[in-house]
Each structure stands twice: as structure tokens, then as C-alpha cells.
Amino acid sequence: MSLSPQTNGVYAIAATPFHPDGALDTASVDRLTDFYVQSGATGLTILGIMGEAPKLEPEESLQITRQVVGRAGVPVIVGVSAPGFAAMRSLARNVMDLGAAGVMIAPPPALRTDEQIVTYYAQAVEAIGEDIPFVIQDYPLTLTVVMTPNVIRAIVNNHASCVMLKHEDWPGLEKISKLRGFQKAGEMRDISILCGNGGLFLDFEMERGADGAMTGYAFPDMLIDVVTMQQRGERDAAHDLFDAHLPLMRYEQQQGVGLAVRKYVLQKRGAIASDAQRKPGSSLTAAAKAEIEYLLQRLARKDPRAAL
């Protein structure tokens, strides 16, 4: 149950279920964990941005980790990005003690130069220890930090414990090709590349050499089908299924309201009891809900899982 450069498949970015009053909904944590695993997820990623991690109290973060790791039966990656290395270290050590498979580290937004980014990961590894497998989160659209392929290569080669890239640069297809080119040329150690960005380019990312997805789209079962079909070489079928979902995926990928859409659909699928977000959160207007219903109805004509 550990991460490795050969890890592939779909790691579902788990939502964090709350009651309407903002309290953690622990029953739904179990239900949602089961939902992801039964959907075929290879692993889970918890305490990320879309998991409302910054809104959690420290003890809640550990409680969720304990509960999910204990129940999932698949590897669990925990986001440990923090403003300082003391908090990162203690969270990382604690979640690994609880049985996590690895941790994910995003660069803080103030980083600008190549040197700053490479140095930051060196300091982070020094802080958490060289024995914890970690994932680089490369997400310039939200984090405003731009990592070139050379920078990623330097981090991977500097740290044996770097086993995976969560790739969500945008656009990012050429970046995958470039990184895989480094590996073929023997210039970079092998790493696993799982793609985020709501899955909006997963169809082609798989063809460029990605190992799968790490994202929270409310139909993880579809992501798994696409990854599997692409691995089997069933290109057209993969695109057919993907294209059927694209209108809803696009709708869910809207910044700000995206999480509200995702939780709304997860609730309709029975995976969580309430679509409430802890404050400050976003919510859906009646118009938005009607649009989602319409998108689901249209999707259900091609994928019966959307008939809710």
C-alpha cells in the first residue's frame, strides 16, 4: 500500500463531507470512502484544496486521515502543504504514522525563480524526512508558481522520495511529453504522473504518457473507465465516453462554484448526506441546479450512471 514511480490508475480527490451546520459528517466520510473504492479508485487523496483542508482544525485533519486510511483499503495520499515547515513536518509524520501512503506538497505562491522552487522542495524534504514518499503538485493556475520541466527534473533527481507528479499545469500536454522524453533519454528518474485540472484533458493526457488521473470529478467511475480503455488501446471508445461527460466536467470545473457542483452531484449519487460546505463556501442558485439537472439528463442518455 505504498506509492511508487509505477503507481497508475485514478486517485480520487476526496471531498470532505459536512453537516449543514458546518460540523464534520463522519458517517458520510465512511460512505464517501466506500463510494470511491467501489467506483474502482486505485487510491484516494485527502486534505487537498477541494477537500476544504484549510478550513479544518488540526485535530480534524488527523481524525479524517485516521478514518479514511482505516476504511479505504487502498493507498491514501494526504496533502500537507502548510505555510511553515514545522506544521508540514508534524502533519506529515502524523499521517504517515496513521498509515498514509505518501504526502503531497504544493509550492507556496510567493515562489518565483527556478532556484527558489528547487530550494523549497529541498527544505521541505529536509523537514519531513527523506523516508516519506511525496508528490509534487504543479498547479500554476491557482498557485501562480510556474515550474518548468527542468525544475521538475531537478526536484525528482535531487530527492529519491519524490515518486509522483500531480500534473495540472494548463496547458500541459507538451509538458507530459517533455518529462517522458527526459526519462527516455535517461536524464530523469522515472516518476508516476497523475493528472488533475478536473480531468478536462485526460483523454489526451493518457496518450501523452500520463499514468492516470488525480482529480475529484463526481464520476470517478468514468475517469477509471477512460484510463483503463486508454491503457488497453481502446482509443475511440475512451474518447466517446469522455466526450459524453465533457459538458458536465466543464461545468464542474468552474473556479469558485466548482466544489458546490461537485458536492451537489455527489449528494445526488448518494455518496454524501449533504452538499454543505464549511464557511466560507459557495452555493448553487436555483438556475445552476436546473442546469446541472439538465446536464445529467443529457448525459444519462449515454451513460446510465448519470440517471439519478
Q: Interface residues with its own copies (CB under 8 A)?
A: 52, 54-58, 60, 82-87, 90, 109, 112-116, 120, 123, 126-127, 146-148, 150-151, 170-171, 173-174, 177, 200-201, 203-204, 207-208, 239, 242-243, 246-247, 250-251, 254-258, 278-280, 285, 287-288, 291, 298
Nearer to its own copies, 86 or 160 (CB): 86
Asked if residue 47 lies in contact with residue 53, where contact means CB atoms within 8 angstroms, the answer is yes
**At its nearest, how many Å lie between its own copies and the CB of residue 38?**
29
Pairing of strands 9-13, 192-195: unpaired
**At its nearest, how many Å lie between its own copies and the CB of residue 126?**
8
Q: Count of H helices and E strands in the chain?
A: 12, 8
Residue 47 amino acid letter: L
Query: Which of 35, 39, 102, 27 is closest to 67 using CA atoms?
Result: 27
**At its nearest, how many Å lie between its own copies and the CB of residue 100?**
19
Beta-bridge partners for 102: 77
Nearer to its own copies, 72 or 91 (CB): 91
DSSP 178-238: HHHHHHHTTSS---EEEE-GGGTTHHHHHHHT--EEEE--S-HHHHHHHHHHHHHT-HHHH
**At its nearest, how many Å lie between its own copies and the CB of residue 54?**
3
Nearer to its own copies, 61 or 192 (CB): 61
Nearer to its own copies, 186 or 280 (CB): 280
Query: Which of 55, 54, 41, 34 is closest to 13 using CA atoms?
Result: 41
**At its nearest, how many Å lie between its own copies and the CB of residue 43?**
25
Nearer to its own copies, 38 or 144 (CB): 144
**At its nearest, how many Å lie between its own copies and the CB of residue 1?**
28
Q: Over the range 141-161, which residues count as b (16 or more CB within 10 Å of their CB) and which as e?
A: eebebebebebbbbbbeebeb
Nearer to its own copies, 161 or 253 (CB): 253
